[in-house]
Structure 1
Amino acid sequence: MSATDTLIAVHRERLSLARFGDGELGMMLNPKLSIPFQTNSPDLAQDLRTTLAEPAENLLLCLPSTYNLKRSANPRMAARWWTRHGSRILQLIPESATRFGDQMVSRMWFFEEYGQDAVRLWRDIWDGRQALVVTGEGSRFELLDELFDNLQSADYLFSVAKDAYADLDRVVDEVQKRSPDLVLISLGVAGTVLAHRLARVGVQALDIGHLSASWNYVYKDGQRPEAMPVWTGQANN
């Protein structure tokens, strides 16, 4: 699906959203591969594989498209990676899978390509709704007015600043206690697994990742999300 069709489907069908980028795919295939804010493990790698191979019925999985590979920081390296590992990923995808969303909907490219239409498509999803934001303590995520001021209300549930995967059981229990209308997740690789777990228990959950930082990069000359510190150095209020 195109990036715009991805968000239209999420809005119209009240779907949850889980994204597989380079980090999620790499850690899924190699349990020894870790990234700065998330230590990998066999359990995490297996949960990522399960999310891809056995997604909840109301969950839209998002993968990188070949079009957006050309827009990566190193297109040749990205092409080599897919040449080497693509067949392993395809083997995990069930034959019954009929559609996938575009993983880039939360990235800078989406705002650069579609401008205010990209902003509108995101805002349509949560317009007038009550949201619970799940993110790490000290997270760099922001509820920017330009993206989120049409929410009816927003509350926070904080996980740990790093290695949030180990905290997911507690987070799922707490989300279910609060019974939110919508969950917005900015939790790195753990966010992909969390969106799947919440979708399975009937909670609409959107893995929005670097959405706020991507908007800031395009419209406010902010830093690229990858260049920002994992932790802001202070607790959220």
Structure 2
Amino acid sequence: MFRLPMLAKLVIVNTGYRIFKVYMRITNKTPKVINGDDTVKYIVTHKCSVARFGDGEFLWIFQERAEGDFEKNSSKLSKKLLQVLNSENDNLILCIPDVFKTLKGTKKTARVYWETFLTKRGYRVLNLLSNSKKYFDTQFTRPYIDYNYNSRNFENKFESLKKIWFNRNVLIVEGEKTRFGVASDLLDGAKSVRRIICPSKNAFERYTQILNNVRRQATLINDALVLVSLGPTATVLAFDLSEMGIQTVDIGHLDVEYNWYKMKAKEKISVPGKYVNESKVQFIEIDDGLILQKYYKQIIKVVK
């Protein structure tokens, strides 16, 4: 089978992205997206819940996520994500990628990825969004690995993010071996940390059980802040818990990004003690018993 040279592919996707931008301008459909820094400031100031839609969530809406990924495509998940995307809850902000106006500052790999994604699926994504709605940047949880080193102050970005949970009683909802904030100072400013461990794969199939357990535990915690790292289930959970008056932030890959920043990583590599689905070696256990002992003590519920 004939294959296009890589240079030709790059030219095609870049041209497709430029045509897509012209289409947005002509049709006046360019989404209004608040940048990452202002997204974080808004969360800190308003103590709002956050539902994030990245490329994966849109693929799950279209039921086109690659087979063998950690969450199955299903009509139920697709409909629920659409319900969240159409939410009018004032206590919940909706985040989408801030990639529609410009990709300035991103590394070549990230730029090519988004040019390809928007060329192929951008028109359908636009049909899901509202011209009158103000969105926030879903990439606020991914401020490091996709960006050129001279394009931003990474330290300031992570210090600003830490203000979200500063002096709060944090309830982390995560998959097995996610270990958000373990073996780093990321959560040092939190008043307390508790954890609910959920299935690492196909968590949405246990959604009712997860929702009920998180709601029950969160109501027992004073001034609770729920941080969820659980794929598209996190997006849905943030919506449902916000409807119940529980501040919930879909925090995504932030912990891995923070570790990559501390490691000065130049590509997506393994992080000892944590599951990293984007690295070649996805999990390497640590042998520090004291760190693991502290982590296990924070677990208050396991949903199987």
Q: Which one-letter code corresponds to 1:203 in the other structure? A: I
CA contact 2:143–2:157 (8 Å) conserved in 1: no
Aligned pair partner of 2:230 in 176, 187, 193: 187
1:131-170 equivalent positions in 2, closer than 5 A? 131-143=170-182, 145-170=184-209
Note the alpha carbon deviations across 1:202-224, whole angstroms, 9 max, x for none.
Answer: 11111111111101111124626
CA contact 1:58–1:199 (8 Å) conserved in 2: yes
CA distance in structure 2 between the partners assigned to 1:218 and 1:89 by the alignment? 31
CA distance in structure 1 between the partners assigned to 2:256 and 2:280 by the alignment? 9
CA distance in structure 2 between the partners assigned to 1:184 and 1:156 by the alignment? 9
1:196 Cα deviation (Å)?
1.3
Task: Give the 3 Å change call, closer, same or farther, for CA 45–13 of structure 1 in structure 2.
Answer: same
In the superposition, the TM-score normalised over structure 1's length comes to 0.87
1:102-141 equivalent positions in 2, closer than 5 A? 102-109=137-144, 113-141=152-180
Is 2:259 aligned against 1:216? Answer: yes
Stretch deviating more after TM superposition (99-108 or 140-149): 140-149
Note the alpha carbon deviations across 1:126-180, whole angstroms, 9 max, x for none.
Answer: 1111010000123253345422101000100111121111122112111221214
* Structure with bigger gyration radius: 2
Note the alpha carbon deviations across 1:40-75, whole angstroms, 9 max, x for none.
Answer: 111111111111122532111111112348547353
RMSD between superposed Cα atoms in Å: 2.7
CA distance in structure 2 between the partners assigned to 1:35 and 1:86 by the alignment? 24
Aligned pair partner of 1:24 in 49, 57, 63: 57
- Matched with 1:7 is 40
Greater fraction helix: 1
Q: Secondary structure at the match of 1:175?
A: helix
Q: Secondary structure at the match of 2:185?
A: helix
CA contact 1:68–1:104 (8 Å) conserved in 2: no
In the superposition, the TM-score normalised over structure 2's length comes to 0.69
Is 2:75 aligned against 1:75? Answer: no
CA contact 1:140–1:230 (8 Å) conserved in 2: no
Gaps of 5+ in 1: none
1:94 Cα deviation (Å)?
3.6
CA contact 1:55–1:196 (8 Å) conserved in 2: no
Task: Give the 3 Å change call, closer, same or farther, for CA 117–146 of structure 1 in structure 2.
Answer: same
CA distance in structure 2 between the partners assigned to 1:140 and 1:52 by the alignment? 28
Q: Which one-letter code corresponds to 2:187 in the other structure? A: F
1:198 Cα deviation (Å)?
1.2
CA distance in structure 2 between the partners assigned to 1:117 and 1:35 by the alignment? 37
- Matched with 2:279 is 227
1:77 Cα deviation (Å)?
4.5
CA contact 1:31–1:42 (8 Å) conserved in 2: no
The aligned length equals 236
Aligned pair partner of 2:241 in 198, 202, 205: 198
Task: Give the 3 Å change call, closer, same or farther, for CA 65–95 of structure 1 in structure 2.
Answer: closer
Larger RCO: 1 or 2 (CA < 8 Å, sep 6+): 1
Q: In percent, how many aligned pairs have the same letter?
A: 27
Task: Give the 3 Å change call, closer, same or farther, for CA 105–36 of structure 1 in structure 2.
Answer: same
Is 2:95 aligned against 1:62? Answer: yes
Q: Secondary structure at the match of 2:197?
A: strand
CA distance in structure 1 between the partners assigned to 2:245 and 2:95 by the alignment? 19
CA contact 2:53–2:94 (8 Å) conserved in 1: yes
